[in-house]
Structure 1
Protein backbone atom coordinates (compact mmCIF):
# COMPACT_ATOMS: atom_id res chain seq x y z
CA UNK A 1 0.00 0.00 0.00
CA UNK A 2 1.39 3.39 -0.97
CA UNK A 3 1.78 6.10 1.63
CA UNK A 4 1.32 9.84 1.38
CA UNK A 5 5.11 10.13 1.23
CA UNK A 6 5.23 7.66 -1.68
CA UNK A 7 2.63 9.66 -3.61
CA UNK A 8 4.51 12.90 -3.02
CA UNK A 9 7.84 11.36 -3.89
CA UNK A 10 6.33 10.15 -7.16
CA UNK A 11 5.00 13.65 -7.88
CA UNK A 12 8.49 15.07 -7.36
CA UNK A 13 10.13 12.42 -9.52
CA UNK A 14 7.61 13.10 -12.29
CA UNK A 15 7.76 16.89 -11.84
CA UNK A 16 3.99 16.87 -11.60
CA UNK A 17 2.69 20.45 -11.86
CA UNK A 18 -0.68 19.34 -10.50
CA UNK A 19 0.99 18.87 -7.10
CA UNK A 20 2.33 22.43 -7.01
CA UNK A 21 0.88 24.33 -4.08
CA UNK A 22 -0.18 21.17 -2.25
CA UNK A 23 3.22 20.59 -0.64
CA UNK A 24 6.91 21.58 -0.85
CA UNK A 25 10.04 19.51 -0.44
CA UNK A 26 13.67 19.86 0.53
CA UNK A 27 16.70 17.57 0.46
CA UNK A 28 18.43 17.59 3.88
CA UNK A 29 21.85 18.09 2.26
CA UNK A 30 20.78 21.39 0.65
CA UNK A 31 19.55 24.68 2.07
CA UNK A 32 16.65 25.27 -0.36
CA UNK A 33 13.06 24.06 -0.68
CA UNK A 34 11.25 23.45 -3.96
CA UNK A 35 7.97 22.93 -5.73
CA UNK A 36 7.20 19.35 -6.82
CA UNK A 37 7.56 20.44 -10.47
CA UNK A 38 10.98 22.05 -10.02
CA UNK A 39 13.36 21.25 -12.88
CA UNK A 40 16.03 20.48 -10.30
CA UNK A 41 15.23 16.87 -9.57
CA UNK A 42 16.58 15.46 -6.26
CA UNK A 43 18.79 12.35 -6.24
CA UNK A 44 16.65 9.21 -6.30
CA UNK A 45 18.20 7.78 -3.15
CA UNK A 46 17.99 10.94 -1.05
CA UNK A 47 15.06 11.12 1.37
CA UNK A 48 12.88 14.20 1.13
CA UNK A 49 11.65 16.52 3.81
CA UNK A 50 8.01 17.34 3.11
CA UNK A 51 6.35 20.61 4.14
CA UNK A 52 2.71 21.57 3.75
CA UNK A 53 3.45 25.29 3.53
CA UNK A 54 6.30 27.62 2.64
CA UNK A 55 6.15 28.96 6.19
CA UNK A 56 7.01 25.51 7.57
CA UNK A 57 9.88 25.11 5.11
CA UNK A 58 11.40 28.47 5.95
CA UNK A 59 10.92 27.90 9.68
CA UNK A 60 13.00 24.73 9.26
CA UNK A 61 15.85 26.84 7.87
CA UNK A 62 15.37 26.41 4.13
CA UNK A 63 15.21 29.23 1.58
CA UNK A 64 13.12 29.25 -1.62
CA UNK A 65 14.64 27.81 -4.79
CA UNK A 66 15.60 30.53 -7.26
CA UNK A 67 14.45 28.40 -10.21
CA UNK A 68 10.91 27.36 -9.26
CA UNK A 69 10.34 30.24 -6.77
CA UNK A 70 7.98 28.33 -4.45
CA UNK A 71 7.34 31.45 -2.36
CA UNK A 72 5.54 33.10 -5.30
CA UNK A 73 2.15 32.20 -6.75
CA UNK A 74 2.02 30.42 -10.08
CA UNK A 75 -0.55 31.24 -12.74
CA UNK A 76 -2.36 27.99 -11.89
CA UNK A 77 -2.49 28.91 -8.21
CA UNK A 78 -3.83 32.37 -9.04
CA UNK A 79 -6.50 30.83 -11.26
CA UNK A 80 -7.42 28.34 -8.54
CA UNK A 81 -7.76 31.07 -5.93
CA UNK A 82 -9.90 33.18 -8.28
CA UNK A 83 -12.25 30.30 -9.06
CA UNK A 84 -12.60 29.44 -5.37
CA UNK A 85 -13.43 33.08 -4.53
CA UNK A 86 -16.14 33.09 -7.19
CA UNK A 87 -17.57 29.78 -5.94
CA UNK A 88 -17.79 31.14 -2.40
CA UNK A 89 -19.64 34.20 -3.67
CA UNK A 90 -22.13 31.94 -5.45
CA UNK A 91 -22.59 29.70 -2.41
CA UNK A 92 -23.17 32.59 0.00
CA UNK A 93 -25.53 34.74 -2.09
CA UNK A 94 -29.28 34.13 -1.98
CA UNK A 95 -29.84 35.69 -5.40
CA UNK A 96 -27.77 34.51 -8.33
CA UNK A 97 -24.81 36.86 -8.87
CA UNK A 98 -24.16 38.23 -12.34
CA UNK A 99 -21.16 37.24 -14.41
CA UNK A 100 -19.77 40.74 -13.87
CA UNK A 101 -20.09 40.32 -10.09
CA UNK A 102 -18.20 37.04 -10.21
CA UNK A 103 -15.51 38.41 -12.51
CA UNK A 104 -14.99 41.34 -10.13
CA UNK A 105 -14.68 38.96 -7.17
CA UNK A 106 -12.10 36.95 -9.11
CA UNK A 107 -10.22 40.06 -10.21
CA UNK A 108 -10.54 39.17 -13.90
CA UNK A 109 -12.31 40.58 -16.91
CA UNK A 110 -15.70 39.08 -17.72
CA UNK A 111 -14.40 37.07 -20.71
CA UNK A 112 -11.20 35.89 -19.03
CA UNK A 113 -13.05 34.82 -15.89
CA UNK A 114 -15.57 32.76 -17.85
CA UNK A 115 -12.78 31.03 -19.77
CA UNK A 116 -10.70 30.28 -16.64
CA UNK A 117 -13.71 29.05 -14.66
CA UNK A 118 -14.73 26.64 -17.39
CA UNK A 119 -11.18 25.42 -17.98
CA UNK A 120 -10.73 24.60 -14.28
CA UNK A 121 -14.13 23.08 -13.52
CA UNK A 122 -15.61 21.91 -16.79
CA UNK A 123 -18.69 23.98 -15.90
CA UNK A 124 -19.82 27.45 -16.82
CA UNK A 125 -20.42 29.84 -13.90
CA UNK A 126 -24.14 29.61 -14.68
CA UNK A 127 -24.03 25.82 -14.28
CA UNK A 128 -22.30 26.17 -10.91
CA UNK A 129 -24.99 28.64 -9.83
CA UNK A 130 -27.64 26.13 -10.93
CA UNK A 131 -25.93 23.36 -8.97
CA UNK A 132 -25.79 25.40 -5.76
CA UNK A 133 -29.39 26.58 -6.06
CA UNK A 134 -30.54 23.00 -6.69
CA UNK A 135 -28.64 21.80 -3.62
CA UNK A 136 -30.32 24.50 -1.54
CA UNK A 137 -33.70 23.49 -2.91
CA UNK A 138 -33.27 19.87 -1.90
CA UNK A 139 -32.18 20.96 1.58
CA UNK A 140 -34.99 23.50 1.98
CA UNK A 141 -37.68 20.98 1.03
CA UNK A 142 -36.85 18.95 4.11
CA UNK A 143 -37.16 21.86 6.54
CA UNK A 144 -39.34 24.62 5.06
CA UNK A 145 -42.97 25.08 6.10
CA UNK A 146 -44.20 24.51 2.57
CA UNK A 147 -43.00 23.80 -0.96
CA UNK A 148 -43.61 27.44 -1.87
CA UNK A 149 -41.44 28.64 1.01
CA UNK A 150 -38.70 26.23 -0.02
CA UNK A 151 -38.80 27.52 -3.59
CA UNK A 152 -38.22 31.14 -2.57
CA UNK A 153 -35.78 30.30 0.23
CA UNK A 154 -33.66 28.38 -2.28
CA UNK A 155 -33.37 31.45 -4.50
CA UNK A 156 -35.96 30.78 -7.21
CA UNK A 157 -37.76 33.96 -8.20
CA UNK A 158 -41.01 32.26 -9.11
CA UNK A 159 -42.87 28.98 -8.78
CA UNK A 160 -42.98 28.64 -12.55
CA UNK A 161 -39.21 28.83 -12.91
CA UNK A 162 -38.74 26.09 -10.33
CA UNK A 163 -41.43 23.74 -11.64
CA UNK A 164 -40.00 24.02 -15.16
CA UNK A 165 -36.77 22.43 -13.90
CA UNK A 166 -38.03 20.38 -10.94
CA UNK A 167 -37.73 16.96 -12.66
CA UNK A 168 -34.00 17.60 -13.22
CA UNK A 169 -33.55 18.79 -9.64
CA UNK A 170 -35.66 16.27 -7.73
CA UNK A 171 -36.45 13.34 -10.01
CA UNK A 172 -39.92 13.20 -8.45
CA UNK A 173 -42.66 15.62 -7.45
CA UNK A 174 -41.76 18.16 -4.74
CA UNK A 175 -44.40 16.66 -2.46
CA UNK A 176 -42.93 13.17 -2.87
CA UNK A 177 -39.42 14.47 -2.22
CA UNK A 178 -40.63 16.36 0.83
CA UNK A 179 -42.39 13.22 2.08
CA UNK A 180 -39.22 11.14 1.91
CA UNK A 181 -40.05 9.50 -1.41
CA UNK A 182 -43.44 8.23 -0.28
CA UNK A 183 -45.12 6.25 -3.06
CA UNK A 184 -41.98 6.37 -5.22
CA UNK A 185 -39.66 3.69 -6.55
CA UNK A 186 -35.97 4.61 -6.46
CA UNK A 187 -33.30 2.70 -8.34
CA UNK A 188 -29.66 3.21 -7.39
CA UNK A 189 -26.22 2.29 -8.66
CA UNK A 190 -22.82 2.77 -7.00
CA UNK A 191 -19.51 3.00 -8.85
CA UNK A 192 -16.01 4.32 -8.26
CA UNK A 193 -15.08 7.89 -9.15
CA UNK A 194 -12.23 10.33 -8.54
CA UNK A 195 -13.68 11.22 -5.13
CA UNK A 196 -14.13 7.65 -3.93
CA UNK A 197 -17.58 6.35 -4.83
CA UNK A 198 -20.60 7.90 -6.49
CA UNK A 199 -24.14 6.75 -5.78
CA UNK A 200 -26.62 7.75 -8.49
CA UNK A 201 -30.32 7.19 -7.86
CA UNK A 202 -33.28 7.77 -10.18
CA UNK A 203 -37.02 7.92 -9.57
CA UNK A 204 -39.95 8.16 -11.95
CA UNK A 205 -39.07 11.64 -13.28
CA UNK A 206 -35.28 11.47 -13.37
CA UNK A 207 -32.18 11.54 -11.18
CA UNK A 208 -33.15 12.16 -7.56
CA UNK A 209 -29.74 11.88 -5.87
CA UNK A 210 -26.04 11.98 -6.64
CA UNK A 211 -24.01 11.23 -3.51
CA UNK A 212 -20.22 11.14 -3.19
CA UNK A 213 -18.06 9.61 -0.48
CA UNK A 214 -15.36 7.16 0.50
CA UNK A 215 -17.65 4.52 2.02
CA UNK A 216 -20.45 2.74 0.15
CA UNK A 217 -22.32 1.89 3.34
CA UNK A 218 -22.45 5.54 4.35
CA UNK A 219 -23.81 6.53 0.93
CA UNK A 220 -26.54 3.88 1.10
CA UNK A 221 -27.47 5.06 4.59
CA UNK A 222 -27.64 8.66 3.39
CA UNK A 223 -29.93 7.67 0.51
CA UNK A 224 -32.21 5.85 2.94
CA UNK A 225 -32.32 8.92 5.21
CA UNK A 226 -33.33 11.07 2.25
CA UNK A 227 -36.04 8.67 1.08
CA UNK A 228 -37.14 6.58 4.07
CA UNK A 229 -40.56 5.91 2.54
CA UNK A 230 -39.45 5.01 -0.98
CA UNK A 231 -39.07 1.52 -2.39
CA UNK A 232 -35.30 1.46 -3.03
CA UNK A 233 -33.70 -1.24 -5.14
CA UNK A 234 -30.56 -1.86 -7.18
CA UNK A 235 -30.58 -0.51 -10.70
CA UNK A 236 -31.07 -2.64 -13.77
CA UNK A 237 -28.07 -3.53 -15.90
CA UNK A 238 -29.18 -0.96 -18.49
CA UNK A 239 -29.35 1.86 -15.98
CA UNK A 240 -26.07 0.81 -14.33
CA UNK A 241 -24.32 0.85 -17.70
CA UNK A 242 -25.61 4.34 -18.45
CA UNK A 243 -24.41 5.58 -15.07
CA UNK A 244 -20.97 3.96 -15.46
CA UNK A 245 -20.52 5.68 -18.81
CA UNK A 246 -21.73 9.00 -17.40
CA UNK A 247 -19.32 8.77 -14.48
CA UNK A 248 -16.41 8.12 -16.81
CA UNK A 249 -17.25 11.05 -19.07
CA UNK A 250 -18.24 13.42 -16.27
CA UNK A 251 -14.88 13.51 -14.51
CA UNK A 252 -13.80 17.18 -14.28
CA UNK A 253 -10.54 18.45 -15.81
CA UNK A 254 -7.36 17.58 -13.93
CA UNK A 255 -7.09 21.22 -12.88
CA UNK A 256 -10.15 20.73 -10.68
CA UNK A 257 -8.11 18.57 -8.31
CA UNK A 258 -6.58 21.75 -6.89
CA UNK A 259 -10.02 22.94 -5.74
CA UNK A 260 -11.36 22.33 -2.21
CA UNK A 261 -13.21 19.04 -1.80
CA UNK A 262 -16.62 20.67 -1.36
CA UNK A 263 -16.24 22.64 -4.58
CA UNK A 264 -14.96 19.55 -6.42
CA UNK A 265 -17.97 17.63 -5.13
CA UNK A 266 -20.42 20.24 -6.41
CA UNK A 267 -18.67 20.25 -9.78
CA UNK A 268 -18.64 16.45 -10.11
CA UNK A 269 -22.28 16.04 -9.06
CA UNK A 270 -23.39 18.65 -11.57
CA UNK A 271 -21.34 17.10 -14.36
CA UNK A 272 -22.78 13.66 -13.60
CA UNK A 273 -26.31 15.04 -13.82
CA UNK A 274 -25.41 16.81 -17.06
CA UNK A 275 -23.94 13.60 -18.48
CA UNK A 276 -27.24 11.82 -17.82
CA UNK A 277 -29.24 14.61 -19.40
CA UNK A 278 -29.48 15.58 -23.04
CA UNK A 279 -31.98 17.42 -25.17
CA UNK A 280 -33.07 14.17 -26.76
CA UNK A 281 -32.68 11.98 -23.69
CA UNK A 282 -35.83 10.47 -22.26
CA UNK A 283 -36.18 8.99 -18.80
CA UNK A 284 -38.99 6.48 -18.56
CA UNK A 285 -40.28 4.01 -16.05
CA UNK A 286 -41.90 0.68 -16.85
CA UNK A 287 -45.17 0.93 -14.94
CA UNK A 288 -45.27 -2.81 -14.37
CA UNK A 289 -41.76 -3.34 -13.06
CA UNK A 290 -40.68 0.13 -12.00
CA UNK A 291 -37.55 -0.35 -14.08
CA UNK A 292 -35.78 2.89 -14.86
CA UNK A 293 -34.24 3.24 -18.29
CA UNK A 294 -32.10 6.23 -19.21
CA UNK A 295 -31.88 6.17 -22.99
CA UNK A 296 -29.31 7.90 -25.12
CA UNK A 297 -27.61 9.64 -22.21
CA UNK A 298 -24.82 11.70 -23.65
CA UNK A 299 -22.11 13.27 -21.51
CA UNK A 300 -21.02 16.83 -22.04
CA UNK A 301 -19.99 19.98 -20.22
CA UNK A 302 -22.79 21.52 -18.20
CA UNK A 303 -24.04 24.91 -19.21
Structure 2
Protein backbone atom coordinates (compact mmCIF):
# COMPACT_ATOMS: atom_id res chain seq x y z
CA UNK A 1 0.00 0.00 0.00
CA UNK A 2 3.02 2.31 -0.16
CA UNK A 3 2.05 3.41 -3.67
CA UNK A 4 -0.96 5.38 -2.38
CA UNK A 5 1.34 7.41 -0.13
CA UNK A 6 3.75 8.43 -2.89
CA UNK A 7 1.52 10.77 -4.85
CA UNK A 8 -2.06 11.86 -4.52
CA UNK A 9 -1.84 13.89 -7.73
CA UNK A 10 -1.23 10.88 -9.99
CA UNK A 11 -2.66 7.74 -8.43
CA UNK A 12 -0.75 4.74 -9.75
CA UNK A 13 -3.56 2.65 -11.16
CA UNK A 14 -3.18 0.41 -14.18
CA UNK A 15 -5.57 2.60 -16.19
CA UNK A 16 -3.62 5.72 -15.25
CA UNK A 17 -0.32 4.12 -16.17
CA UNK A 18 -1.74 2.88 -19.44
CA UNK A 19 -2.94 6.37 -20.36
CA UNK A 20 0.49 7.77 -19.46
CA UNK A 21 2.10 5.24 -21.81
CA UNK A 22 -0.33 6.07 -24.61
CA UNK A 23 0.20 9.82 -24.03
CA UNK A 24 3.97 9.29 -23.70
CA UNK A 25 3.74 11.53 -20.63
CA UNK A 26 7.19 12.95 -19.76
CA UNK A 27 6.32 13.20 -16.06
CA UNK A 28 5.92 9.40 -15.91
CA UNK A 29 9.50 8.75 -17.00
CA UNK A 30 11.41 7.12 -14.15
CA UNK A 31 8.25 6.54 -12.08
CA UNK A 32 7.53 3.14 -13.62
CA UNK A 33 8.52 0.86 -16.50
CA UNK A 34 6.52 -1.59 -18.53
CA UNK A 35 7.15 -4.76 -20.47
CA UNK A 36 5.37 -6.06 -23.54
CA UNK A 37 4.76 -9.79 -23.49
CA UNK A 38 4.46 -10.17 -27.27
CA UNK A 39 7.76 -8.46 -28.09
CA UNK A 40 9.82 -9.52 -25.06
CA UNK A 41 11.07 -6.00 -24.30
CA UNK A 42 10.73 -3.58 -21.42
CA UNK A 43 10.41 0.16 -21.95
CA UNK A 44 10.06 3.51 -20.27
CA UNK A 45 6.60 5.17 -20.44
CA UNK A 46 7.82 7.74 -22.97
CA UNK A 47 8.99 5.14 -25.49
CA UNK A 48 8.28 6.22 -29.09
CA UNK A 49 7.65 2.66 -30.24
CA UNK A 50 4.33 1.40 -31.51
CA UNK A 51 1.80 1.15 -28.71
CA UNK A 52 1.08 -2.34 -27.47
CA UNK A 53 -2.36 -3.68 -26.75
CA UNK A 54 -3.31 -3.28 -23.07
CA UNK A 55 -3.60 -7.00 -22.42
CA UNK A 56 0.05 -7.46 -23.48
CA UNK A 57 1.46 -4.86 -21.08
CA UNK A 58 2.86 -5.59 -17.61
CA UNK A 59 3.79 -2.73 -15.24
CA UNK A 60 6.89 -2.56 -13.04
CA UNK A 61 7.57 -0.17 -10.17
CA UNK A 62 11.35 -0.34 -10.47
CA UNK A 63 13.93 -0.88 -13.18
CA UNK A 64 15.22 -3.97 -11.35
CA UNK A 65 11.71 -5.42 -11.38
CA UNK A 66 11.53 -4.84 -15.14
CA UNK A 67 14.92 -6.50 -15.62
CA UNK A 68 13.78 -9.56 -13.68
CA UNK A 69 11.10 -10.25 -16.33
CA UNK A 70 13.82 -11.79 -18.46
CA UNK A 71 12.96 -9.44 -21.31
CA UNK A 72 15.57 -7.31 -23.04
CA UNK A 73 15.72 -3.50 -22.78
CA UNK A 74 14.07 -1.63 -25.65
CA UNK A 75 16.47 -0.41 -28.34
CA UNK A 76 14.41 2.71 -29.00
CA UNK A 77 13.97 4.21 -25.52
CA UNK A 78 17.00 2.62 -23.79
CA UNK A 79 15.30 2.23 -20.38
CA UNK A 80 18.56 1.46 -18.57
CA UNK A 81 20.19 4.73 -19.63
CA UNK A 82 19.33 8.26 -18.49
CA UNK A 83 16.19 9.68 -20.08
CA UNK A 84 16.33 11.77 -23.24
CA UNK A 85 15.49 14.89 -21.23
CA UNK A 86 18.48 14.34 -18.94
CA UNK A 87 20.77 13.65 -21.91
CA UNK A 88 19.51 16.78 -23.72
CA UNK A 89 20.06 18.94 -20.63
CA UNK A 90 23.59 17.59 -20.26
CA UNK A 91 24.32 18.36 -23.92
CA UNK A 92 23.03 21.92 -23.54
CA UNK A 93 25.13 22.34 -20.39
CA UNK A 94 28.22 21.17 -22.32
CA UNK A 95 27.38 23.59 -25.12
CA UNK A 96 27.02 26.48 -22.67
CA UNK A 97 30.37 25.63 -21.10
CA UNK A 98 32.01 25.56 -24.54
CA UNK A 99 30.46 28.92 -25.44
CA UNK A 100 31.70 30.52 -22.22
CA UNK A 101 35.19 29.03 -22.50
CA UNK A 102 35.68 30.13 -26.12
CA UNK A 103 38.08 33.01 -26.74
CA UNK A 104 36.18 34.07 -29.86
CA UNK A 105 32.44 33.56 -30.41
CA UNK A 106 31.65 30.08 -31.72
CA UNK A 107 29.36 29.68 -34.69
CA UNK A 108 26.43 27.32 -34.33
CA UNK A 109 28.04 25.06 -36.90
CA UNK A 110 31.34 24.89 -34.98
CA UNK A 111 29.49 24.29 -31.70
CA UNK A 112 27.39 21.51 -33.20
CA UNK A 113 30.43 19.91 -34.81
CA UNK A 114 32.32 19.94 -31.50
CA UNK A 115 29.37 18.29 -29.76
CA UNK A 116 28.86 15.75 -32.54
CA UNK A 117 25.32 16.81 -33.47
CA UNK A 118 23.75 18.77 -36.31
CA UNK A 119 23.27 22.54 -36.23
CA UNK A 120 19.49 22.17 -36.35
CA UNK A 121 19.59 19.70 -33.46
CA UNK A 122 21.56 22.03 -31.20
CA UNK A 123 19.15 24.87 -32.07
CA UNK A 124 16.14 22.67 -31.20
CA UNK A 125 17.73 21.64 -27.90
CA UNK A 126 18.53 25.22 -26.95
CA UNK A 127 15.01 26.35 -27.83
CA UNK A 128 13.40 23.48 -25.94
CA UNK A 129 15.66 23.73 -22.89
CA UNK A 130 16.49 27.44 -22.58
CA UNK A 131 13.96 29.11 -24.85
CA UNK A 132 16.61 30.78 -26.98
CA UNK A 133 19.22 30.05 -29.65
CA UNK A 134 22.89 29.33 -28.98
CA UNK A 135 23.90 32.69 -30.50
CA UNK A 136 21.42 34.66 -28.39
CA UNK A 137 22.49 32.78 -25.28
CA UNK A 138 26.17 33.51 -26.07
CA UNK A 139 25.47 37.24 -26.54
CA UNK A 140 23.51 37.38 -23.29
CA UNK A 141 26.21 35.53 -21.35
CA UNK A 142 28.91 37.91 -22.62
CA UNK A 143 26.89 40.98 -21.54
CA UNK A 144 26.39 40.07 -17.88
CA UNK A 145 27.07 43.12 -15.70
CA UNK A 146 28.51 41.06 -12.81
CA UNK A 147 31.33 39.80 -15.06
CA UNK A 148 32.24 43.28 -16.33
CA UNK A 149 33.58 44.43 -12.96
Length-normalised TM-score, structure 2: 0.52
The residue correspondences of 1:159-198 to structure 2 (distance < 5 A) are none
Task: Give CA deviations for 1:21-51 in whole Å, capped at 9, x if unaligned.
Answer: x4361259785312324411544xx772144
- Residue in 1 that maps onto 2:128: 120
Distance (Å, rounded) in 2 between the aligned partners of 1:151 and 1:11: 48
Q: What is the RMSD computed on CA atoms of the aligned residues?
A: 4.5
- Residue in 1 that maps onto 2:106: 98
Q: Which segments of 5 or more consecutive residues in structure 2 lack a partner in the other structure?
A: 1-7
The residue correspondences of 1:122-161 to structure 2 (distance < 5 A) are 122-133=131-142, 137-138=145-146, 150-151=147-148
Distance (Å, rounded) in 2 between the aligned partners of 1:132 and 1:41: 49
CA change 1:102–1:28 in 2 (3 A) is: closer
Distance (Å, rounded) in 2 between the aligned partners of 1:113 and 1:87: 15
Distance (Å, rounded) in 2 between the aligned partners of 1:97 and 1:47: 51
| Structure 2 residue matching 1:98: 3-state secondary structure | coil
Of 2, 23, 29, which aligns to 1:14? 23
Confirm or deny: 8 A CA contact 1:96 1:129 kept in the other structure: no
Distance (Å, rounded) in 1 between the aligned partners of 2:141 and 2:54: 44
- Displacement of 1:86: 1.4
Distance (Å, rounded) in 1 between the aligned partners of 2:105 and 2:35: 47
Distance (Å, rounded) in 1 between the aligned partners of 2:139 and 2:12: 38
Distance (Å, rounded) in 1 between the aligned partners of 2:94 and 2:133: 15
CA change 1:114–1:2 in 2 (3 A) is: closer
| Structure 1 residue matching 2:42: 3-state secondary structure | strand
- Displacement of 1:63: 1.4
Distance (Å, rounded) in 2 between the aligned partners of 1:113 and 1:29: 34
Query: Are 1:48 and 2:59 matched, yes or no?
Result: yes
- Displacement of 1:123: 0.9
Confirm or deny: 8 A CA contact 2:36 2:52 kept in the other structure: no
- Residue in 2 that maps onto 1:70: 77
Q: Whose relative contact order is higher, 1 or 2, with alpha carbons under 8 Å and at least 6 apart?
A: 2
CA change 1:5–1:114 in 2 (3 A) is: same
Query: Are 1:85 and 2:94 matched, yes or no?
Result: yes
Q: Which segments of 5 or more consecutive residues in structure 1 lack a partner in the other structure?
A: 139-149, 153-303
Confirm or deny: 8 A CA contact 2:92 2:126 kept in the other structure: no
Count the aligned residue pairs.
Answer: 127
Confirm or deny: 8 A CA contact 2:34 2:60 kept in the other structure: yes
- Displacement of 1:98: 0.3
Length-normalised TM-score, structure 1: 0.31
| Structure 1 residue matching 2:124: 3-state secondary structure | helix
Distance (Å, rounded) in 1 between the aligned partners of 2:110 and 2:37: 49
